[in-house]
Amino acid sequence: MRIRIVFSAALAALGLMFLLPVAAHAHGDTVKVVVTGQREGHVTADVTWENDGDAVEEAVAATVNAVSVDGSHTMGPWRLVRDTAAAPAGWTTAEALPPGSWKVSVDVGFPSLGHGDLEVAVPVVDPAPVTPTPVASAPAPVPSAAAPVASSASASAPAASSAQGTTEPAADTEGYAVWWTTAGVAVTAVAGAAVGLLLRRRRRVRLDRLN
């Protein structure tokens, strides 16, 4: 009984040993690398199994090299990292190419061999326009209280002078009125006294005639 159990386990282990390579080669023995371009200078590429086109789910060991079109500058080697902003097959670089035209090549060594290349143009990004900071305008001068006071004082000066000009004749008129009133009373008193004396004289004359 024990022998059967040990023999069955050995067969199962042997079967797994043969099945693992079969599963590993189910996608094929090469990967397809398609350099898709760049995003803000970062090289982008799709890595799939060449046999069925499935995305490579395993870790990918790959190097990225770039040479300027005129051959004067080289960038890399950089490694590919998974591009979380793209499809499952998307990969990119953490480094970014400077503006210009570049011949980019990607070489994959694991989990299988693969190669891809493309000429990539990285445009010059204009800096964001700087919005001028609004300058606070100087506050309008507040008229001081002295100006209205001065104007009112200057305005009141003619008014006072005009008032004085009008009151002085009024005072003279009142003086004339008092003088004429006094003169009238005096004339009336004198006239009254004269009439009284005249009446007394006539009375005396009558009395003298009667006597």
Percent residues over pLDDT 70 in the chain: 55
Q: Which residues contact 105 (CB under 8 A, 6 or more apart)?
A: 35, 64, 65, 66, 115, 116, 117
Question: Would you state the pLDDT for residue 150?
Answer: 46
Q: State the Cα–Cα distance between residues 74 and 77, nearest whole angstrom.
A: 9
Phi, psi of 63 (to 5 degrees): -120, 145
Instruction: Provide the Cα torsion 152, 158, 161, 167; round to 10°.
Output: -90
Q: Which of 21-30, 134-143, 148-157 has the lowest mean pLDDT?
A: 148-157
Which residue matches tokens 């395993």? Answer: 58
Predicted confidence at residue 183, as pLDDT, reads: 63
pLDDT top residue among 193 and 36: 36
Q: What residues pair up with 122 in beta bridges, in sequence order?
A: 100
- Reduced to 3 states (helix: H, G, I; strand: E, B; else coil), residue 168 is helix
Cα torsion 98, 99, 100, 105: sign: positive
Lowest mean pLDDT among 23-27, 70-74, 152-156: 152-156
Token pair recorded at residue 173: 């008129």
Six-digit token string for 77: 């080697």
Kindly report the pTM of this predicted structure.
Answer: 0.50
- Alpha carbons within 13 A on the beta-carbon side of 124: 2
